[in-house]
Chains A and B, each alone.
With several copies, the nearest count.
Chain A
Amino acid sequence: MTKWYWCFMLTVTLFTFFPKQALAQDLVEITTAINTVWVLLAAFLVFFMQAGFAMVEAGFTRAKNAGNIVMKNIMDLAAGSIVYWAFGFAIMFGVGNGFFGSSGFFLSDSFAHLGLDIPTPAFWIFQAVFAATAATIVSGAMAERTNFAGYLCYSVFITGIIYPVVGHWTWGGGWLDQLGFVDFAGSSVVHSVGGWAALAGAIVLGPRIGKYNEDGSINAIPGHNLLMAALGVFILWFGWFGFNPGSTLSGMDSSIAMIAVTTNLSAAAGAVLAMIVSWLKYRKPDVSMTLNGALAGLVGITAGAADVTPVGAVMIGLLSGCVVVYAVEMIDKIHVDDPVGAIAVHGVCGALGTLLVGLFATDGGVFYGGGLALLRVQAIGVVAVAAWTLTTAFLIFKIIDATVGLRASSEEEVEGLDITEHGSTSYPDFVPLYGKSFKIKKTS
């Protein structure tokens, strides 16, 4: 035991424990902070998408139902937040089997098994706004004719069960996850779930009065405020920069930059192609289709945002932008009345985007020499999500219809849900004049 030995040992010891430890701890704190800040800000952006959905849906429907749509959106978010806190999150991310989780109701248990780099509350709020997104997609397809109380019941079910179960399969360590299913930010988990639930809802509800003629021909019911709808699309596009890049759950992950790029290119390509297709088909570039095209591109890229190249993103966007136009028409032709195109945008393009990962993923995609394995898994996922969502949503809507009532009466529908459901008018100064609804005297 010579002095130099001690000196050596000291040096080594100091290196081994002291600074490394301190440093490592500091570094962990710092990277956690970066990740937390990133995930929270992304969650806020995704939250803001609720405003986008409300504006798109209200803008694409008639003025007499604008307040009702707003109410449904706010409740999807508000009631949804509460329900997802109480149940949904536990079912989606709690410890459980391959099909659903069953611990952590009311955020009570530990979620250490997820191995997160961020505090659980940060993860929760990011997931909660995703759940609200899935829920709110449906309100658009069911707009202008749904009983408000009935809609509320449905909203609780989608955020509490339908969506979390699919989420558990894919992101909660469930069976699809184990199969190798790739759905980075939720083309299927969020958007297809919303879209297929919207399909079930629109079918159970039936079309709006005056939408289809006895001879089968279709009437247009133009939305009341295209400018608001456009604002909504801009807000959604903006929020999507939280939705996709945020889904890394890490600001340290340098792929967030490329994800933002693929997201943007796909949206751009979707808008451009939807415009061109509508131009060719209808001789004029259609505003509402172009808006839908941008959304289609966004939905389409969501599954593969982290796994495709910019060229792949443009291709996915072009395909989504083209498909959405035909899908909107086709859905209308089979007399499923979807005033805002939610089924086409979120359901169809969500499924499409999920499948396209099997083609364009640089790691495993058909076009990158990956063979058909991934594509098969993606197809399984798409079918499973559609089957589960359509079945449960259909069931729930039928049950609601038989109990609380799902459809507004035809008098209510004709009069407008704003007045009949909420006793209010959204634009009292305009349709048609000031002071239209003043009270003279209670007794008079």
Chain B
Amino acid sequence: MKKIECMVRPACLEQLVITMEKLDLGGMNITQVVGYGSQKGAGDTSIYRGVEYTVKLKEKLKVETVVPDSMVETVIEQILKATRTDSVGDGKIFIYNIEEAIRIRTGERGDAVI
């Protein structure tokens, strides 16, 4: 099993959920994060009460889903399709290994639960 963790723009969420649903993925989790990347607040100078400041951290969503090894590439492809806008700040996808998964409701383990 692999966890696919991607940082995406909040506006992409709806499309992403639709995509995931079509792939019939077992599930996913979404977390509100603030991110810092190549964007680095470039060009985004705001002013609050006369003080100029750079918004260094952008609101992003972290979407995590655990999938069987076999599905990893398909999922990546679909995520790219759903979230790519070709402009800086689109985000990243990270993949890492999950050793075990357990469904709390039943206690069962393995690929079947995800």
Contact = CB atoms under 8 A, between A and B. Distances in A.
A440 to B, nearest CB: 6
Interface string A337-370: 0000100000000000000000000000000000
Nearest to B44: A419
B65 to A, nearest CB: 16
A164 B64 CA distance: 57
Q: How large is the interface on B (under 10, 10 to 19, 20 to 34, 35 or more residues)?
A: 20 to 34
A286 B49 contact: yes
Contact of A439 (B21, B50, B52): B52
Contact of B17 (A282, A286, A440): A440
17 contacts: A220-B46, A282-B50, A282-B52, A284-B47, A286-B47, A329-B49, A329-B50, A424-B48, A431-B59, A432-B34, A436-B57, A437-B56, A439-B52, A440-B18, A440-B21, A442-B54, A444-B18
Contacts of B11: 414
Contact of B54 (A286, A332, A433, A440): A440
B41 to A, nearest CB: 9
A210 interface: yes
Contacts of A436: 34, 55, 57, 59
Residue among B30, B31, B47, B56 with the most chain A CB within 10 A? B47
Contacts of B33: 432
Interface of A: 210, 218-220, 222, 281-284, 286, 288-289, 325, 328-329, 332, 341, 414, 419, 423-424, 431-440, 442, 444
Contacts, number: 85
B48 A220 contact: yes
Given A419-B46, A433-B34, A442-B54, 11 more contacts: A281-B50, A282-B52, A284-B47, A286-B47, A329-B50, A424-B48, A433-B32, A436-B57, A436-B59, A437-B53, A437-B57
Contacts of A341: 49
B51 interface: yes
B34 A220 contact: no
A83 B85 CA distance: 44
B48 A288 contact: yes
A332 B53 CA distance: 14
A417 B12 CA distance: 18
A219 B53 CA distance: 7
Given A440-B21, A444-B21, A434 B13 contact: yes
A406 B52 CA distance: 28
A437 B55 contact: yes
B100 interface: no
Given A210-B14, A433-B10, A435-B10, A332 B50 contact: yes
B46 to A, nearest CB: 4
Nearest to B40: A444
Given A423-B46, A440-B17, A444-B21, A432 B51 contact: no
B66 interface: no
Given A435-B13, A440-B17, A440-B54, A220 B59 contact: no
B6 interface: no
A318 to B, nearest CB: 19
A439 B54 contact: yes
A35 to B, nearest CB: 42
A438 B53 contact: yes
B61 interface: yes
A432 B49 contact: no
A439 B51 contact: yes
B34 to A, nearest CB: 6
Interface string B11-41: 1011001100100000000111110000000
A287 B63 CA distance: 32
Nearest to A60: B49
Nearest to B13: A435
A284 B48 CA distance: 10
Nearest to A292: B49
Given A433-B10, A433-B34, A438 B56 contact: yes
Contacts of B46: 220, 419, 423-424, 437
Given A431-B32, A431-B59, A440 B14 contact: yes
B94 to A, nearest CB: 20
Contacts of B31: 432
Contacts of A328: 49-50
Given A432-B34, A437-B46, A442 B51 contact: no
